[in-house]
Chains A and B, each alone.
Chain A
């Protein structure tokens, strides 16, 4: 079992809809979770991080963490074609000092 798992997709949503991206992790001791966005041919960039159970909102993005169920999600409201990218979920596993473990990514396409 991979330590951080994501549905590889692809996921397609119409413009203006809510895109929901999900991630599960196997290490119950993991404390910190991150969402990176990677446009095709580009490098990953951090868009959200979450440490506590519940929701964290930043503009059109909401990260949700449920430690009991060991899942993290990212909601993108009012999706735009410019949101089309691969979204990488990452976790700082227990025992890890600074390194992150990444999921394989979910490819999102927002259709105009």
Chain B
């Protein structure tokens, strides 16, 4: 298994631009989590899905952030418009229902907004 796949690995964009981050979870996993990691705030859960349905989006910082999961093998996290304070590493993780605590993380997308 290839593990959780994220793209792009690095993204540099200017303030005000739209950014789309992509994630492919491990096949057969029921849960998908989006996290953001910064030095100041650590690893924060933004939103998670179960069977493609958003369950808890209380961690999404504001309306500029949106996430979708159109099918079991693909999810996106979109930021529009982007701001410099959105600069962070964004991780996607997936897990099974039986072992939801064992979350497998993707390699992350390092986002820099200038």
Report if B54 contacts A (CB, 8 A).
Answer: no
If the complex has contacts A43-B91, A46-B102, A92-B101, are A103 and B107 also in contact, measured as CB distance less than 8 A?
no
Residue count of chain A within 8 Å CB distance of chain B: 19
Determine if A98 and B43 form an interchain contact, defined as CB atoms under 8 angstroms apart. no
CB of A46 within 8 A of CB of B103, answer yes
Interface residues on B, range: 20 to 34
Q: Give CA–CA (A22, B106) in the complex, Å.
A: 26
A104 within 8 A of B: yes
Do A44 and B43 touch (CB < 8 A)? Answer: yes
Q: Check if B107 sits within 8 Å of A43, measured CB to CB.
A: yes
Residues from chain B with a CB closer than 8 A to the CB of A62 are none
Shortest distance from the beta carbon of A44 to any chain B beta carbon, whole Å: 5
- Within 8 Å of chain A (Cβ to Cβ): is B42? yes
Chain B residues near A102 (CB-CB < 8 A): 42-44
User: Does B45 touch A at the CB level, under 8 Å?
Assistant: yes
Q: Which residues of A contact B100 (CB under 8 A)?
A: 98
Contact partner of A43 among B44, B56, B101, B105, CB < 8 A? B105
A43 touches B42 (CB 8 A): no
Is B25's CB within 8 Å of the partner chain A? no
Beyond A32-B101, A43-B91, A97-B55, 4 additional pairs, beta carbon < 8 A: A44-B105, A98-B95, A105-B42, A105-B43
Closest 9 CB pairs of A and B: A43-B105, A104-B42, A102-B43, A98-B100, A99-B45, A44-B105, A46-B102, A43-B108, A43-B107
Q: List 18 A-B contacts (CB under 8 A).
A: A32-B101, A34-B101, A43-B105, A44-B91, A45-B105, A46-B103, A49-B102, A92-B101, A97-B55, A98-B48, A98-B50, A98-B55, A98-B100, A99-B56, A100-B45, A102-B44, A103-B42, A105-B42
